[in-house]
Amino acid sequence: MLFGEIIMNDAMISTKNISANNMRNNVKIGLEIHVQLNTKTKLFCSCPVPKSGDVPNSKCCEICLGHPGSKPVLNREALKKALLLALALNCTISEEIIFSRKSYFYPDLAKNYQISQFEIPLGKNGYIQINGKKINLRRVHIEEDPAALVHPETIATSSYVLIDYNRSGIPLCEIVTEPDIISPEEARLFMKKIITILDYLNIYDPNLVIKADANVSIKESGYVRAEIKNISSFKEIERALNYEIQRHRDEIKEGKKIIQETRAWRYDSGKTILLRKKETDDDYGYIVDPDLCTYHVSADMLKKLKDEIPEMPEERINKFVSKFKLAKDDAEVIANEKVLAEMLERAAEKVKPELAARWIRREVVRIANYHDMDLHKIPLTIEQLIELLDMVEKNKITDNTAKEILERLFERSFSPAEYVKENNLGIIHDLGRLKDACRETVDDNKKVVEDYLSGKEEALNFLLGQVMKKTKGKANPKEIREMMLRLIKDNN
């Protein structure tokens, strides 16, 4: 993705001319990523996790709302999924799991505190690799989601706010990086890698938006950071960071002092706005939650969880290169999308892996992009893909015919083999018919033949295209090329 162009009419702040190299100099970025775990119930009660369209405030209880006497109980499945993520992120796992109350007053907290982890996170000192660079992770912890604030207009202009407590208590896993990220582009790549890991672990709902808070600072300010809250896409992460870095630089040039603060990203205007001065950990008055016991993570439990971790992208890349003999670039692109990786694994059982990889990486992705379709939602089944590629491998249909069929499979479901039979789309193997088509093409295009003989290689492609038209795309391109060259040679 290229750096976005954002031009403000009022502040005249533009990221258009910020070079990638300049953006990387003396910039520190840390991310706090909030992942909603795909459990059936909330983190500390038996209320079902709400779905889109649910009536507001219909999926909550005394525990969600913090009524006196209500007692939270930890969701075991949420803990398990959070531990799987921490292990996959190379974290050191805490032997004891404790929860704290993060106290602050805000309308989305009915009990005036959020149950989170502070003193001892679930996992710490993890890392992931981005293009060979290690991004260190400070902590991975679990916490409950606050309620949802609904502003009738915007945060800045609404005269009142509505509260939906359905969301209160949903299990979140928070991933906090060290400020090791040095550019908005690298932040986007990091987010993409995290989502790939989540997808492989199957611990989140890919239909839900993953939000991140970004902390950004520059050397010119003495690395005084600003936090940008609730950014919800790769593109917007990059846009928001581009804007905020340039805002810091512009204010310093104007002699202003950068202060630590929390800001909101406005997607519509492409700029950040001040929410509040940045709080510190001391402001939250953390205390250990007396209503929740200490949970112990045994060595046996960790061993079982490690055994549950599936084959991850790096392992699949190595396998695709060594076992399937794929180019590393192809292996990386496919392995970094779980849907594509599983498609290749299945297809390689029936057809040549190189053939399957070429069609999956280029054609399946191309058509999905054309339809602006999430790979998790493509209608193509693996059985249909194998059936199609089997005909290509056995030279029963041309590549062009296969491409057209694949495009149709994204629009409706059918059997590729039956479709080829019903529409007579199989490759023509009648040599007499092919020779006639080649001979007619040569006779009708003598000037083009002369151009080819004079050294214009592209002229041959024109002739081959004419033969393909005559055969309605059902001729084998390699076969007619050889036939055409022999015919031209024999006639000259």
Domain ranges of the chain: 20-296, 311-422, 431-491
155-159, 332-336, 409-413, 472-476: which range is least confident on average? 472-476
Distance (Å, whole) CA 194 – CA 171: 18
pLDDT of residue 5: 29
For residue 343, which of 329, 357, 363 has the smallest C-alpha distance? 357
pLDDT of residue 366: 96
Distance (Å, whole) CA 77 – CA 38: 9
Distance, first Cα to last Cα, the chain: 52
pLDDT of residue 279: 64
Q: What one-character DSSP code corresponds to residue 181?
A: B
Radius of gyration of the chain (CA): 29
| % residues pLDDT > 70 (the chain) | 92
Which three-class secondary structure state does DSSP give residue 432?
helix
Is the separation of the CB atoms in 413 and 446 below 8 Å? no
The pTM of this model reads: 0.81
Is the separation of the CB atoms in 93 and 125 below 8 Å? no
**Of 18 and 167, which is predicted with more confidence?**
167
Q: How confident is the model at residue 18 (pLDDT cuts 50, 70, 90)?
A: very low
| Average pLDDT of the residues in 134-145 | 97
- DSSP H or E stretch at residue 487: helix 477-491
| Average pLDDT of the residues in 39-44 | 97
**Of 218 and 1, which is predicted with more confidence?**
218
**Most confident region among 12-26, 213-227, 420-434 by mean pLDDT:** 213-227
Give the pLDDT confidence of 443-471 residue by residue, as tens digits: 788 877 777 777 777 888 888 888 778 77
Distance (Å, whole) CA 122 – CA 82: 8
Strands 295-296 and 96-97: antiparallel
Is the separation of the CB atoms in 184 and 231 below 8 Å? no
Q: What is the third-level CATH fold of 431-491? A: Arc Repressor Mutant, subunit A (1.10.10)
Distance (Å, whole) CA 310 – CA 402: 33
Distance (Å, whole) CA 85 – CA 118: 18
Give the pLDDT confidence of 363-386 residue by residue, as tens digits: 999 999 999 999 999 999 999 999
Residue 139 has pLDDT above 90, yes or no: yes
66-80, 92-106, 269-283, 414-428: which range is least confident on average? 269-283
Distance (Å, whole) CA 485 – CA 482: 5
Distance (Å, whole) CA 229 – CA 215: 9
